[in-house]
Chains A and B, each alone.
Chain A
Amino acid sequence: MAKHIHEIRDAVHVFDHLDSEERKVLDSRPFQRLRHIHQLAMTYLVYPGATHRRFEHSLGVMELADRVFRTITAEENIDNRVRKHLPRGDRLTYWRRVLRMAALCHDLGHLPFSHAAEKELLPKGMTHERITVDIIQSSELNDIWQNMEGPLKARDIAKLAVGPKEYPEDYEHPDFSDWERVLSDIIVGDAFGVDRMDYLLRDSLHAGVVYGKFDQYRLIDTLRVLPGNQDSETPVLGVESGGLESAEALLLARYFMYSQVYFHPVRRAYDRHLQHFLIEWKGKNGWPTDIDGFLQLTDDEVSVEIRQALLDANHPGHSNAKRLTDRKHFKVLYERNAADAKRNRQAAKAVFDAAKEKFGGDKVEFDNPPQKQSGVEFPVRLRDGRIASSMAESEVLAKLPIVAIEYVFVAPEIRDDAEKWLELNREQIIAAQSVEGDEQ
């Protein structure tokens, strides 16, 4: 007789559980492809252990999403002020299944090596989230949703998988009800999204750094759906006051992982070379967006192409393939720092512009990833039942710095010259404020 509940060993959560219906999603072509997409692109060139894939991450996200769902819908945990937002009976069972499948499928649309060059490779308006939505709503997966108890609506799964920020506005019914928004926040929310919880824990484990660890068990046990603030009935994911320290630990983990791993300069430099290689190979807007064409490309195909480009001096990506393979990556010439930023907020951009003029555009790169907010506001239920802002209850959260990184990279062959040049010209470059102003 077929086994109804399957357990899969997980390096982070010990076991991930899924039933035979859900197993069909796991065994599907779009999901199996995730075995061949590295979670952290080429971070393994810096942290050799970071070779884990989106496959196991997606399973972990499903496992955590289910734990959060069971916690927030347990009768003893429901706050009466927001009770009317929670469905009951069969509807609750339906939404639990939808949430699990959305969590499992939330990364199906990732391009090879995750975020690398997505903006340039995909046509305008196309994102990996939109591709995720399309795959979830494809006939291949829709057949599975239709045969699941419910049956499940593909659109419900797609909405929770990518959340209101990324769900395409031009698709049918793009607006999220409060309940749908709470559920999508369980997966992709800024405060307690389990996507982030899993990747912090998993990336930390595989990269061999401890920054990403926090007490996930305590945190999830204390998560609640609460009024957004004392005067509001808007349902928002929040935390009991007893879980505030674990929430702090989660957001600290995020801060440290960004500053120490995700924004590591060598990792960022390799990302740039990979982006250039992909664009040189496929051309701008050159990535297939039809589902069949998209699903055929994984990290494996890209890695093979890099090897071929390395051997072929006429390959358009030859130079970047060499930099990736022979570790001839660009090096940091200048990094945003507090002292210079106090004098000129655009100091890094000013150094980049001057270096580009001096050494040429092909030898200099500017990398300024979006700043990451560390402190996040969410409701905290105090022991007497009142709702308070997390930022007021936690000095740690109120004072968490923003992760703001900017690098100017130069080709290794000009690094010594560039450093000498910068030493001579730094004061003059930074003294010139470069805000464009009204006239531009």
Chain B
Amino acid sequence: MNRLKRGAIIVSLVDALREHGSWCGETNIQKAAYFLKEVACVPLEYSFVLYKYGPYSFGLTEDLTALRADEVLELKAPDPKYGPSYWPGSMAEFVKSQYQKTIAAYAPKVEFVAEKLGSKTVTELERLATSLYVRRKIETGSEQQWATRMHELKPHILVKDAKVAIKEVDEIIDDARRLAAT
């Protein structure tokens, strides 16, 4: 998948997240892209590592920068609390028009992730995405093991909150399976 094709999917993700009330800062996009890849199985080819607010792709950041340079996305209206947010730029419609089939193919999955994550705060997204990351790393672990590991990596995530996040991710994974089966 080339950069502009990935960019077209990211722009459609930004649109969908906005429709579901997301602030659409970089953290919102990073976590949504992580779920898009790991849960909805969209082949975004980004590699995610654990970073400030959970799984993070440096490759996605590079793509976001390139998309801004090409005016496919733009950063707007910094808010003291939430920071800047991403909006479609002047070239967004052109790129989307070039990749209509790609966007249509992944639209149900993009909508699914946006619906699940669009209303979440950065703190909630950090818990959910870290929970998914940890269970991907310890595939045969138990809820207790996953929650303990989350707390080890991120001491501000309490074990009880980690368990709540693990349950929510379970539900998201189940819903994604149902979506894939339809």
Contact = CB atoms under 8 A, between A and B. Distances in A.
Interface of A: 84-85, 164-165, 167, 169, 174-178, 181, 228-236, 341, 345, 370-373, 375, 377, 388-393, 398, 402, 404, 435-438, 440
Interface stretch (B80-88, B112-120, B162-170): B80-88
B156 A233 contact: yes
7 contacts: A165-B49, A229-B83, A234-B156, A370-B62, A377-B26, A377-B83, A438-B101
Interface string B64-91: 0110111100010011111110000001
A169 B58 CA distance: 14
Contacts of B123: 231-232
B46 interface: no
B150 to A, nearest CB: 11
A178 B154 contact: yes
Which 10 residue pairs across A and B have the least CB separation, nearest first?
A389-B83, A233-B156, A392-B78, A404-B69, A437-B98, A391-B78, A388-B80, A438-B101, A392-B80, A373-B65
Nearest to A386: B80
Nearest to B47: A169
B95 interface: yes
A232 B2 CA distance: 35
Contact of B81 (A229, A345, A398): A229
Given A229-B81, A389-B83, A398-B84, A438 B100 contact: yes
B81 A230 contact: yes
B62 A234 contact: no
Given A231-B122, A389-B79, A436-B2, A236 B84 contact: no
Contact of A228 (B4, B53, B79, B99): B53
Given A229-B83, A345-B71, A436-B2, A178 B78 contact: no
Given A169-B49, A388-B80, A438 B99 contact: yes
Given A229-B83, A345-B70, A164 B99 contact: no
Contacts of A372: 65
B120 to A, nearest CB: 12
A164 to B, nearest CB: 5
Contacts of A169: 47, 49
B121 interface: yes
A187 to B, nearest CB: 15
> Which DSSP category, helix, strand, loop or mixed, fits chain A's interface?
loop
B167 to A, nearest CB: 21
A167 B58 CA distance: 13
Given A404-B69, A436-B4, 19 more contacts: A164-B49, A174-B49, A177-B153, A181-B52, A228-B52, A229-B83, A233-B156, A234-B53, A341-B70, A371-B66, A389-B81, A391-B78, A391-B84, A392-B78, A392-B83, A392-B84, A435-B4, A438-B101, A438-B102
A174 B80 CA distance: 33
B137 interface: yes
Contacts of A231: 81, 121-123
Interface residues of B, number: 44
A115 to B, nearest CB: 16
Interface string B29-54: 00000000000000000010111110
A229 B4 CA distance: 31
Contacts of B78: 389, 391-392, 398
Contact of A389 (B84, B94, B101, B121): B84
Given A169-B49, A370-B66, A391-B78, A178 B155 contact: yes
B19 interface: no
Nearest to A235: B156
A389 B153 contact: no
A225 B52 CA distance: 12
B111 interface: no
A73 B154 CA distance: 19
Nearest to A178: B154
A84 B155 contact: yes
B33 to A, nearest CB: 16
B51 A391 contact: no
Contacts of A436: 2, 4, 98
A175 B78 CA distance: 31
B65 A371 contact: yes
Contacts of A178: 153-156
Contacts of A438: 98-102
Contact of A234 (B68, B80, B126): B126
B82 A164 contact: no
Contacts of A229: 81-83, 122
A371 B156 contact: no
A398 B83 CA distance: 10
A198 B9 CA distance: 38
B61 interface: yes
Contact of B80 (A164, A236, A389): A389
B79 A392 contact: yes
A341 B51 CA distance: 34
Contacts of A402: 65, 68-69
A132 B84 CA distance: 35
Given A229-B81, A373-B61, A389-B80, A85 B155 contact: yes
B110 to A, nearest CB: 16
A233 B161 CA distance: 14
Contacts of B174: none
